[in-house]
Amino acid sequence: MDEKQAKERIEELRKQVEYHAQKYYDEDQPEISDFEYDMLMVELRNLEKEFPQFQSQDSLTQKVGGHVKEGFQKVTHEVPLQSLQDVFSIEEVEEYITKIEQKAEENDIKQVTYVVETKIDGLSAALEYKNGEFIRGATRGNGLVGEDVTQNLKTVKTIPMKLKDKIDITVRGEVFIAKDDFEKMNQEREENEEELFANSRNAAAGSLRQLDSKVTEKRPLDIYIFNVQKIEGKEFNSHYEELEYLNQQGFHVNPVRIYCKTMQEIKQAIEKIGEDRENLTFGIDGAVVKVDDLRFREILGTTAKTPRWAVAYKYPPEKKETKLKEIICQVGRTGVITPMAILEPVKVAGSTISKTTLHNQDFIKQKELKIGDTVVIQKAGDVIPEIVEVKKNKRTGEEIEFEMPKVCPVCGSQAVREEGEAAIRCTGIECPAKLFRNLVHFVSREAMNIDGLGENIIQQLLDNGLIENIADIYTLQLEDIASLKKNGQKFAQNLVDSINKSKENDLYRLITALGIRHVGSKASKLLARKYKNIDNLMHAELEDLSMINDIGPIVANSIVEFFSQEQTQDLIQKLKAGGVNTEAKEEENIDNRFEGKTFVLTGTLENYTRGEASNLIEKFGGKTASAVSKKTDYVLAGEEAGSKLTKAQNLGVTILTEAEFQEMATLGQAPSRHA
């Protein structure tokens, strides 16, 4: 492709992705799948990289910010980002409106109008534009000084990088995560055994304040603009008029804004928002009543903390009593066993609640919950139903104590709770509840490395009953695999070849693939080197395992528990029958040139993945660490190396370029210089 063709294609792609982004984010009417959109973005990104002369800040590919290495810079707000005065009853709203009307009468203002808006539950931020282009974004902070989060805000796709008018303007908005997106985030975190976000507001705040904007990019942040802080070269008479103008400029403006003239209309607006809050896609924590006339706002002025021209009405949290009928246990993909409360259905905040999570045994004990109790339910952050109270005075004596199961309710394997953890988990490797995740891990690149057997194909194999456990991978027939795709013979043959190739893997890959808790590829190599075959490892004693360097008692106990399970022993026998190698391969031409040396990897390498570089280091007798310390011998620094590089420089640790590392790996010669 020549330059002219590249330019034309880049311009065409930009129009397409902008069109589909608007359809998806602005209009909620996507016309193509997420995958198709992603492929357009990949093509555009690759072309811009190949032809850098055509790169532009206007491109959606440029919304990904770089690293913020040493925390955020402070930003002094030219116009303070004040908080609002809160009120908690309609009577207080009436008192506020009465004072406003009195002030209007004193200033010979005949008619006061208002705008009632939703108070979005998120994190406040200011966006600055110069000549119509986004130049800086900051958090509210203390109202006077905030944090510079410009690079992170560039990853929020609903923030326009360029406005229609070439104006100097600063606007204020609320960064948030939509209800559905928040639920998906927590589901994914639960599956990955990560701590759940308490509420969407915390999740949004934490996401916006990430030091690495690539992390922020992965979070589904959105923003609604609700105020003009400052504008030059243009004047408005009313707040409502400002919002309409911002909408025309391409901002996502708070969609709920109700124009009111009387207290009765204000009351109706507050009630309507309260009735509709369950159907809103975003969480709210109140309704804001604002004076619409901007000149009157100037007369009203502000206090040190709050404007006098607005007030926030906070809806009381709706709580309902119901019966805890039963507690059942569900098993997640990672094997975590979670107790679930089955309730007599009750309507709370507009939705019917019939069940809610009880998290773990500690939560049940803390609340002193018993089956048969009368409990109080409320919805946390307008999203998650939760039990907040037990009505002990309503107990009859027939309530039943609950204890977490000792075995998995799905497969019957031992259920264990490790020291220092709240979760109880199933230990069975063939547990149906864990099967999909176990399969994905087993075939992954760091494990058995079965190319072509991705998540989609695994799900199809399960759905079609072609596999029921991990070992079934090695009994798959060519025609079974081919049936999954139209004209799938070539794909099937490639996958069969990859499966057969994996049978010859070294023992350490099989140990990694088994997914023993706390045992990664490093520990797997140590175990394979010491025990030589899977049978020796299966019969290894706790004391012997604990003595291995970098294993320790916790990991050793996990290994012993894993191999004591009947499901594990059954799987090993099936894998042997399927022809999978269970012996450690002899290491040829032993070269310990890195023996006793510790490497830390940082940044992006051009010729290696992190895993490949680590394997090479370990092959030559060295080891890798995740953090830089005085004990670190080398830091291998790729592109966009972060704080680890800075720390290495401060400690005087030897820093290697990728070229120097390659020279060491091939010639065995290390540079003598230091940082």
Query: How far is it, in rounded angstroms, from Cα 132 to Cα 548?
Result: 63
**Chain length of the chain:** 675
Residue 656 has φ and ψ, to the nearest 5°, of -105, 135
Query: How far is it, in rounded angstroms, from Cα 452 to Cα 120?
Result: 45
Q: Nearest-CA neighbor of 314 among 177, 91, 119, 96?
A: 119
Question: 119, 157, 525, 644: which one is catalytic?
Answer: 119
Question: Quick one: CA torsion of 323, 324, 326, 329, rounded to 10 degrees?
Answer: 150
Contacts 24+ apart (CB under 8 A), 146-150: 146/74, 146/75, 146/77, 146/81, 147/72, 147/73, 147/74, 147/75, 147/209, 148/72, 148/73, 148/74, 148/75, 149/72, 149/125, 149/208, 149/209, 150/65
280: which 2 tokens? 């809103």
Angle of CA points 551, 557, 559, to nearest 5° = 75
By DSSP bridging, strand 257-260 and strand 114-120 are antiparallel
Question: Quick one: CA torsion of 336, 341, 346, 352, rounded to 10 degrees?
Answer: 20
Question: Rounded to whole angstroms, what are the CA distances from 171 to 28, 227, 490?
Answer: 24, 6, 56
Query: How far is it, in rounded angstroms, from Cα 229 to Cα 168?
Result: 11
State whether residue 457 is helix, strand or coil.
helix
Amino acid at 64: V
The 3-class SS string of 403-443 reads CCCCECCCCCCEEECCCCCCCEEECCCCCCCCHHHHHHHHH
Residue 88 has φ and ψ, to the nearest 5°, of -125, 15
**Residues forming a β-bridge with 312:** 86, 288
Contact 216, 208 (CB under 8 A): yes
Residue with tokens 């984010």: 25
Angle of CA points 140, 146, 150, to nearest 5° = 95
Residues whose CB falls within 8 Å of the CB of residue 9, separated by 6 or more in sequence, listed in order: 1, 47
State whether residue 278 is helix, strand or coil.
helix
- CB-CB neighbours of 487 under 10 Å: 7
Query: How far is it, in rounded angstroms, from Cα 629 to Cα 459?
Result: 43
- CB-CB neighbours of 618 under 10 Å: 18
Contact 380, 200 (CB under 8 A): no
End-to-end CA distance of the chain: 43
Cα of 367 vs its chain's centroid, Å: 29
Amino acid at 384: I
Query: How far is it, in rounded angstroms, from Cα 94 to Cα 166?
Result: 41
Query: How far is it, in rounded angstroms, from Cα 4 to Cα 462?
Result: 48
Q: Nearest-CA neighbor of 114 among 348, 291, 363, 334?
A: 291
Query: How far is it, in rounded angstroms, from Cα 350 to Cα 194?
Result: 30
Contact 253, 243 (CB under 8 A): yes
Question: Does 347 participate in catalysis according to the annotation?
Answer: no
If you ran DSSP here, which 8-state letter would residue 27 be given?
S
Which residues are identified as catalytic?
119
